[in-house]
Amino acid sequence: MMKQKWLYFGVLTALFLLVLFSLGSGLWGSEQSGRHWTEKLFYGVCHQMPDRSFTFNSLPMAVNSRCFGIFFGLFAGWLTIPLSYKLTFKKTWPVKLLLFAVILQIIDFSGNYLQLWVNTNLSRALLGFLLGAGASLSIGDLFYNNNSKK
């Protein structure tokens, strides 16, 4: 049985808003002067390079593709915690998935930095999604009692 449901749903709401706000001015309407409020919101978290960002309604999103993938992965992983607890409860694979995703991030960044390949917005977003989902799933056990069924 899930414990601290209020905390679970509070974090779920916050993650939903994080994804929603990351869509940027394409969703909220562009401001004529200066940076959009969503860009200001993520300024200290994301480098926000337009060439590394997806567009939404023909405008660059407030975050780059990797950050969007991480945010969406956090939300999607968090959303599935109640559905996947039988597969994840007291199992080590979610932490291994998270470690694997971190290693993939390092490999992807290093390969691009060393000019062995050029990563794309799609590859950045997919790897970010894996990292975010792995992070959410790896802490899912915290929301279930120790005497829950496996």
Instruction: Tell me the C-alpha distance between 117 and 55, whole Å.
Output: 23
Instruction: Tell me the C-alpha distance between 34 and 38, whole Å.
Output: 12
pTM, 2 dp: 0.89
- Mean pLDDT, rounded, for 58-82: 95
The yes-or-no verdict on residue 143 having pLDDT over 80 is no
Q: Higher confidence at residue 64 or residue 2?
A: 64
